[in-house]
Amino acid sequence: MSTPAATQFVLIDDPVVWQAALEQLPNAHPLQSWSWGALKAAWGWSTHPYLLQAGDGSPLAALLVLKRKVPRLPFAILYVPKGPAFAYEDATIRARVLTFLEGLARRERAIFVKIDPEVVAAVGAEEVEEMALGQLWLKLLRERGWRYSDDQIQFKHTVELDLDRPEEDILAAMKSKTRYNIRLASRKDVNIRLATPADFPAIATIYAETAQRDGFAIRPEAYYLDAWQRFYEAGRLIPLVAEYEAQLLAAVILVRGGGRTIYMYGASTDNERQRMPNYLLQWEAIRHARAAGDQIYDFWGAPETFTEEDSLWGVWRFKAGFNGRVVRFIGAWDFVARPFWYWVYTVAMPRYLDLLRSRNRALQGNAAD
């Protein structure tokens, strides 16, 4: 792809312009959407949507940059979630984008800027095949002084299911136990329906139950209600619930963008688990994604090590039954504009906070005695 010489970065303040440009670009992700930026702006970040435009105004790259002030310091951090979005094989655009972000970090008094583009480094769970483009990106980032981040905010690995084939072929490719459980749930009168915003509080409640049961941290309920409502109003949300005799058993929240449907949130109760509601729910989610015209169903997360010790192992066993492809991205990378303060932010401050928490626990224990 040849890049026009007359290009410029433009800060966009119109959601219609932003979304129209994003939808023209390859590798666009819902976390680069205007809805996601508006959500984060309501929860402590400021948003800075930049387009790299050609001389004729056509978009070449999109960078939804989130900015947050660091408490008690005159600095900020910058983050481009699941972005930037552009043709990752285009060396000219890649250089322009990285140079721009490096300069932006300095101008905005940022300690660092973090990116985590969905550049595929390798595919496969057990037999891993490296991808040339991903390996090139890893080499170039290191050469430019970017650092692999210890803070991988998004999942580095995921499972993708190809939707560009008949439904019967997708079903036939699944593991036999998964197909059996899908049919069992149907025979056991599990009902799947599209949810509405009226269902969101109940879904949030069982999501909190799921988090407590499975041991993962979540945000306040209001955050999820806000997120789901924004994407619902933007026409980018597919909420589905599984019920038995009008009792809510499970739910999935699917977010669409860039030709893919992402299984971003899943929740379930312990009730009626013998009816296998999650299997039928997931199958109906896949069917809805395909009917919406998307090419990929993204299961949103896979283990880092693919061993039983990994915290995602149980979830992986469920997802693996649908026979998708494991995709390994290059992960999150930081460009450090202020090395000393980067050490303070990533090493010293966490250690200090851990020390305070340990001391507080000890004091509380003594008080209880």
CA dist., res. 291 & res. 289, Å (int): 5
**What digits encode the pLDDT tens for the residues 15-43?**
999 999 999 999 999 999 999 999 999 99
Conformational region of residue 350, where left means phi above 0, alpha means psi within -120 to 50, and beta covers everything else: alpha
What DSSP letter does each residue of 29-66 carry, written as one string?
A: -GGGSHHHHHHHHTTT-EEEEEEEE-TTS-EEEEEEEE
The fold of 159-329 is Aminopeptidase (3.40.630)
Tens digit of each residue's pLDDT (9 = 90 or more) over 232-268: 999 999 999 999 999 999 999 999 999 999 999 999 9
What pLDDT is attached to residue 5? 58
First to last CA, the chain: 70
Between CA 51 and CA 48 the distance in angstroms is 10
Task: Give the 3-state DSSP-derived string for 253-299, with helices as H, strands as E and coil as C.
Answer: EEEEECCEEEEEEEEECCCCHHHCHHHHHHHHHHHHHHHCCCCEEEC
> Cα-flanking dihedrals φ and ψ of residue 311, to 5°?
-65, -20
- Is pLDDT of 106 > 80? yes
CA angle 335, 341, 345 (to 5 degrees): 90
| CA–CA separation, 150 and 206 (whole Å) | 31
Evaluate the CA torsion angle 183, 186, 187, 188 in order and state its sign. Answer: positive
Question: Span 97-121, mean pLDDT?
Answer: 99
User: Is residue 365 predicted with pLDDT exceeding 60?
Assistant: no
| Percentages of the chain per state (helix, strand, coil), in multiples of 5 | 40, 25, 35
Domains 8-151+331-364 and 159-329 share a fold: yes
Do 161 and 299 meet the contact criterion of CB atoms below 8 Å apart? yes
Residue keyed to tokens 């994003």? 22
Q: How many C-beta neighbours within 10 Å does residue 343 have?
A: 13
Residue-wise pLDDT for 299-322, tens only, equals: 999 999 999 999 899 999 999 999
| Pair type for strands 237-244 and 260-268 | unpaired
Residue in the structure block whose two tokens are 């040339």: 132
Sequence-ordered list of residues with C-beta below 8 angstroms from that of 183, at least 6 positions apart, any chain:
none
Cα–Cα dist 167/363, whole Å:
59
CB 113 within 8 A of CB 302: no
Question: 153, 245 in Cβ contact below 8 A?
Answer: no
Answer for the pair 61, 84: CB distance below 8 angstroms, yes or no.
yes
Q: Is a pLDDT exceeding 60 seen at residue 4?
A: no
Cβ partners under 8 Å of residue 286, min gap 6: 161, 163, 170, 297, 322
- Neighbouring-strand partners of residue 120: 329
**1: confidence class by pLDDT, cuts 50, 70, 90:** very low
Closest CA to 112 of 140, 70, 52, 154: 70
For the domain bounded by 8-151+331-364, which CATH number is listed? 3.40.630.30
pLDDT score recorded for residue 3: 53
Q: Where are the domains of the chain?
A: 8-151+331-364, 159-329
Q: Cα separation of 221 and 207, whole Å?
A: 9
Beta strand segments in the chain, E: 8-11, 46-53, 59-69, 76-80, 85-86, 110-115, 120-123, 129-130, 147-148, 157-162, 191-194, 237-244, 247-257, 260-268, 296-298, 325-329, 333-336
Residue 124 DSSP SS3: coil
Q: Percent of the chain scored above 90 by pLDDT?
A: 90
Tokens found for residue 48? 């800075």
**Residue 234: its H or E element:** none
